[in-house]
Amino acid sequence: MKQAFIGVDVGTSSARAGVFDEKGTLLATARHPIAIWHEAGSVVEQSSSDIWAACAASVRAAMAEAAVPPAAVKGIGFDATCSLVVLDAAAEPLTVSPSGEARRNVIVWMDHRAIAEAREINDTHDHVLRYVGGSISPEMEIPKLLWLKRHLPSSYRSAGHFFDLADYLSFRATGSTQRSICTLACKWNYLAHERRWSESYFVRIGLGDLAANDYAKIGREIVAPGTLLGTGLSPSAARDFGLVEGTPVGASLIDAHAGGVGTIGGREKAGGSVDVCRRLAYIMGTSACIMATTSEARFVPGVWGPYYSGMVPGFWLNEGGQSAAGAAIDHLIKSHPAYNEALAAAHAGGQEILEFLERRIVSREKSLGEAALLARDIHVMPEFLGNRSPFADPDSRAVVAGLDLDVDIASMERLFVAGLCGLAYGLADVVDAFRAHGVDSDLMVISGGAGRSALVRQIMADTTGLTVAVPETQEPVLLGAAMLGAVAGTAYASIGEAMASMSAIGRSSEPTAPGMADFHRSKRRVHGLMRTLDRESRDAMRGIKTDH
């Protein structure tokens, strides 16, 4: 083998590594769990040291499986969730936790402790908020920093570095404090199109001290994804990973954005040029992101962005999202009385429970599209963690209508399909918002756990009217991260060139008969009524005091 590239992906519950050749062929993968602490008040924390150890274990295991010599690895790239990492001046962990434990130094993306701070920031209506769809999310880093300054001032004052998790990984790998345009533009309110921070914004929201020393704590040097960092892997990182010192490391991406890079530029079997601006990327994991690439800035209310070079260098990015996607379906299924029975039957057949349910459903239906008819009388708005876009309502919560007293697996199937429909209607809300503001697409490339489900793809195609395709690779997020290493190692001159050479489009699902579109249109009306009910219910109960 001439050369190999490694992608490292840190998700919510595990770190994964993938080894690829120069054509994007997956040679091996490995996964290692990471610890997570859930506390009252929407507090979710992790340890950067634990995450790094999991990355190292994953890389070593993947390399062993691939049987690739370390010298063959010509580049490595990282992606991660948009979690906040806090270190002191010596790069040691500083607590972000009410527990006071130093190792708990990561505020996880899904942590919503900073809802009040996000509201206050949004009330300023500062100009920079135009570039997050008009409303900042508590999942982003600036509200979390404001929370930290107010509630753990000692940690805030003692901090030497505030990192997005993806940038922390590249820092730990190389010692370079350069940050990625992707992380800072998408999660830190960095104005990438103007190559600057807004000091007046930070002063207005109470974080004016961040401007000290030319923003050294949050990012003084900002570079494009895939840029070679420092002199590559440091001696200590090389030992941890079992790789060669100096192996090129590319500036990182957020995990969903790595999935976008690993999918939207893929070759189609018919050949021809690829217009990434006509493709959406839908990346579904615990949460979901819907990514649109444009050549000009498009302002879509309630949708994050536009971010210049936020995903593909030289293009603008709009990022819709669902705070609970895979997590929502898992929660629905686990809450059903037949869960244990279905789980036992699934394991007896060597299947995961969602695969078991889908196979049962598909085996009885005339077509994939008609499987959605199971959800005719049950409706789910699966917003267990609020609405990220296009309504930017972190306080919204899930609503289920049409439940009966049935407790068998058949009723679980109906709830499962209704949950998938609810996710598809949330996706359609984002797609409609895109279209209303000049962001048009023909094809959506889906990746993550949902991409393997033909039922999910068909429901989403019928709901949105888009062709829904899967990438040829089984690991598009890891591939996107590996492309960063390929660019840093000069195997390819740019992210665009790496996308065209290392990725391809696989099978696709087309919208079915018009009758199913009409069915989903009717259920979407119910979905809208549920949203109104949720909002008016909260309004009705606002101000009611309770001791519980």
Asked if residue 546 has pLDDT above 80, the reply is no
Question: Which pLDDT score is estimated for 104?
Answer: 98
% the chain with pLDDT above 90: 90
Q: What is the per-residue pLDDT for 247?
A: 98
**Residue 17 per-residue DSSP state:** E
Q: How confident is the model at residue 450 (pLDDT cuts 50, 70, 90)?
A: confident
Please give the Cα distance from 286 to 267 (Å, whole number).
28
Class of domain 4-253: alpha beta
Give pLDDT, residue 286.
86
Of the candidates 313, 290, 264, 272, the one whose C-alpha atom is nearest the C-alpha of residue 504 is 264
Q: What is the DSSP letter of 126?
A: -
Cα dihedral: 74, 164, 13, 139 (round 10): -150
Residue 315 tokens read as 């293009």
Cα–Cα dist 338/66, whole Å = 41
Please say whether the beta carbons of 503 and 24 come within 8 A: yes
| Rounded to 5°, angle at Cα 448 from 444 and 449 | 115
**Cis omega (within 30 of 0) for bond into 511:** no
User: Tell me, what's the pLDDT at 547?
Assistant: 59
User: Residue 366: which pLDDT band, with cuts at 50, 70 and 90?
Assistant: confident
- C-alpha span between 170 and 184 (Å, rounded): 14
How confident is residue 268, by pLDDT bands cut at 50, 70 and 90?
Answer: confident
- Say how far apart CA 397 and CA 386 lie, in whole Å: 5
Taking 60 as the threshold, does the pLDDT of residue 148 lie above it? yes
163 band by pLDDT with thresholds 50, 70 and 90: very high
Tens digits of residue pLDDT in 314-357:
999 999 999 899 999 999 999 999 999 999 999 999 999 999 99
Determine the average pLDDT of the residues in 13-37. Answer: 97
pLDDT band at 285 (very low <50, low <70, confident <90, very high): confident
Residue 161's SS3 state is: strand
Amino acid at 34: I
**What pLDDT score was predicted for residue 1?**
57
**Which tens digits make up the pLDDT trace of 198-233?**
999 999 999 999 999 999 999 999 999 999 999 999
- Tell me the mean pLDDT in the region 258-280: 86
pLDDT reading at 535 higher than 60:
yes
Q: What is the pTM of this model?
A: 0.90
| Amino acid of residue 141 | E
Cβ atoms of residues 191 and 132 within 8 Å: no
The token pair at 424 is 């598809």
Q: Three-class SS of residue 15?
A: strand
pLDDT band, residue 425 (cuts 50/70/90): very high
Does 548 have pLDDT greater than 60?
no
10 Å Cβ neighbour count for 512? 17
pLDDT of residue 449: 76
**430 CB contacts (<8 Å, ≥6 apart)?**
290, 303, 320, 321, 389, 390
The DSSP call for residue 227 is: P
pLDDT at 236 over 80: yes
Give the model's pLDDT for residue 88: 98
Point out the least confidently predicted range of 87-96, 160-169, 279-288: 279-288
* DSSP labels, 360-391: HHHHHSSSTGGGGGGGTT-EEE--TT-B-SSS
Mean pLDDT of the chain: 95
Question: What is the pLDDT averaged over residues 118-144?
Answer: 96
* Structure confidence by residue, pLDDT tens digits, 168-201: 999 999 999 999 999 999 999 999 999 999 999 9
pLDDT in the model for residue 199:
97
- What would the DSSP string read from start to end of 249-295? EEEEEEHHHHHHHTTTTPBPTT-----GGGEEEEEESSSEEEEEEES
Question: What pLDDT score does 344 carry?
Answer: 97
Q: Who's near 113: CB < 8 A, 6+ residues apart?
A: 41, 42, 43, 107, 138, 144, 147
Q: According to the model, what pLDDT value does residue 182 have?
A: 97
Neighbours of 46 (CB within 10 A): 26
Higher pLDDT, 378 or 507: 378
pLDDT band at 522; cut points 50, 70, 90: very high
Distances (CA, A) of 103 to 16, 18, 51, 54, 386: 21, 27, 11, 15, 29
Tell me how far apart the alpha carbons of residues 147 and 138 are, in angstroms, rounded to a whole number.
Answer: 10
The residue type found at 162 is F
HSE of 16, CA atoms in CB hemisphere, 13 A? 20
Residue in the structure block whose two tokens are 């009524």: 529
